[in-house]
Amino acid sequence: MLRFIVRRVLGAIPVLFGLSVILFLFLRLLPGGGPAVAILGQHATPQLIAQINETQGFDHPLYVQYLDYLGRLFRGDFGASVIDGRTVAESFAIRFPATVELTIGALIFAVGLGIPLGRLAARHPNSWIDGVVTAISLFGISIPVFVLGYTLTFFFAVQLHWLPAFGQIDPRLNVPPVTHFAIIDALLAGNWYVVDAVAHLILPSIALGSIPLAVITRITRASVIDVSNEDYVRTARAKGLTDRRVNSRHIMRNAWLPVTTVIGLQVGALLAGAVLTETVFTWNGVGSWVVTSIQNHDYIVVQSLILIFATIFLTVNLIVDVGYAFLNPRIRYS
C-alpha cells in the first residue's frame, strides 16, 4: 500500500513542476511591455515600474527569477498582493474557510439528493420515474451556474423573500470572525445567529451543487444497474434473500466504488470551481477573490491561487485514489 501511495505522490510532482513553469511564464509574457506594466495598468509610470521590478525581482535574468520563485514556493511564500500588500497565505487563510463551507453545503445537497435519485431510477429503469430523474440530471448539467444562481435569487429572495440573496451572514448581527466559518462563528456568538448563517448558505449551495448532483445521480444509476445484472446478484436472489438484504450487502456495497470516486473528484472540483457561485452570491471566499484580483490586475495573487487550486485538486485526487484502493484491494496490485 505504501508503494502505491508513493507512486501516486511521485506522479503528482511533475504536474506541479510543469504548472509552476507555465504560471511563471504566464506573468512574464503578459502583453503591454512586461509584468510590471501589466500589473500597474493605466497607473504605470517609470518610477512605479522601476519600483515593481525591484521589489518583485523582474529586473533579474529569467532563470534567476524562476529559481527564486521555486525557492519561495518551497518556503510556503506565495507572494503578496500589489493592491493591499497582504500576503497571499494570510488572505487565503481568511477566505478559504468560506469556500470550504460552501463546498460542504453543495456536497451535502448533491450527495444527499443524487444517490437516492440514482437508486430510485435504477430500481425503475426505462420507466417514467427513470425519465424524470434523467431529465433532472440533464437539467443540472446543462444550465450554467450563474443562470441558476440568479434564477434562485429572483424567485426565493426577491419574489418570495424566503431566503437571503447574498453574503454569508447578516452584517447587522455583528458576529465576530473567530474561525471565518460563518456557521461556526454564529454558533460561538450564540442566540439564533446560526439560523441566519444556514439560510445564507442554502441558495449558493444549491447553485454550486447542481452539476455534482447531476453527475452523482447518473453515475449511481449506471453503477447500480450494472451491478444488479451481475451473476452473484442473481444467485443471491435465487437463494431467497430479501430485496433489502440483496441491495445492502451485494448491490450497493459494490456499486459504491465508482460513486465514491466521482464524489471525491467532485470535492476537488467544487473547492477549485466556486468562482461564479461566489461572485453571484457575493460570497467572501477564494473564488470571488480570484475575480477581484483579475479585475485589479493583481496577477501575482492570480498566479498563486491557480497553483494552490491545482495542489488542492491533486491532493484530493490522491486521497480518492488511496481511498479507492482501500475499497478495492485489486487496484493496489494492478
What percent of the chain has pLDDT above 70? 94
pLDDT digits (tens, 9 = 90+) for 106-160: 999 999 999 999 989 988 888 999 899 989 888 888 888 889 999 999 999 999 8
- 253's CB contacts (< 8 A; 6+ apart) are none
pLDDT at residue 101 greater than cutoff 90: yes
pLDDT at residue 252 greater than cutoff 90: no
Is-contact 257 327, C-beta < 8 A? yes
| CA 121 to each of CA 116, 133, 188, 325: distance values in angstroms, whole numbers, following the listed order | 9, 6, 42, 28
CA atoms within 13 A on the CB side of 250: 21
Domains located in the chain, CATH noted: 2-74 (no CATH), 97-296 (1.10.3720.10)
pLDDT at residue 30 greater than cutoff 80: no
- Give the model's pLDDT for residue 111: 93
Comparing 219 with 297, the larger pLDDT belongs to 219
Comparing 133 with 1, the larger pLDDT belongs to 133
- 180's CB contacts (< 8 A; 6+ apart) are 93, 94, 95, 97, 98
pLDDT digits (tens, 9 = 90+) for 267-281: 877 877 688 899 999
Hey, which of 22-26, 167-171, 196-200 has the most confident mean pLDDT? 196-200
pLDDT at residue 333 greater than cutoff 60: no
What stretches of the chain adopt beta strand conformation (E)?
A: none
Amino acid at 134: T
- Give the model's pLDDT for residue 334: 53
3-state secondary structure of 80: strand
Average pLDDT value for the chain: 84
pLDDT at residue 332 greater than cutoff 60: no
Amino acid at 235: T
Q: What is the C-alpha separation between 299 and 225, in angstroms, rounded? A: 48
pTM, whole model, 2 decimals? 0.86
Amino acid at 123: R
Is-contact 223 327, C-beta < 8 A? no
State the average pLDDT over residues 215-240.
84
Rounded to the nearest 5°, which phi and psi values hold at 59?
A: -90, 0
- Give the model's pLDDT for residue 109: 94
Strand partners, 80: 87
- Give the model's pLDDT for residue 151: 92
pLDDT digits (tens, 9 = 90+) for 38-87: 777 776 778 887 887 777 777 788 888 888 888 888 888 888 887 788 89
Distance of alpha carbon 107 from its chain centroid, rounded? 10
Q: What is the C-alpha separation between 92 and 119, in angstroms, rounded? A: 39
Taking the CA atoms of residue 212, residue 217, residue 223 and residue 225 in that order, the dihedral angle to the nearest 10 degrees is -170
Q: What is the C-alpha separation between 241 and 109, in angstroms, rounded? A: 33
What percent of the chain has pLDDT above 90? 22
Taking the CA atoms of residue 26, residue 285, residue 104 and residue 222 in that order, the dihedral angle to the nearest 10 degrees is -40
Is-contact 88 304, C-beta < 8 A? yes
Question: Counting every residue, how long is the chain?
Answer: 334
- 140's CB contacts (< 8 A; 6+ apart) are 210, 211, 213, 214, 217
pLDDT at residue 285 greater than cutoff 80: yes
pLDDT digits (tens, 9 = 90+) for 5-18: 788 788 888 888 88
Query: Which pLDDT band, with edges at 50, 70 and 90, does 316 fall under?
Result: confident
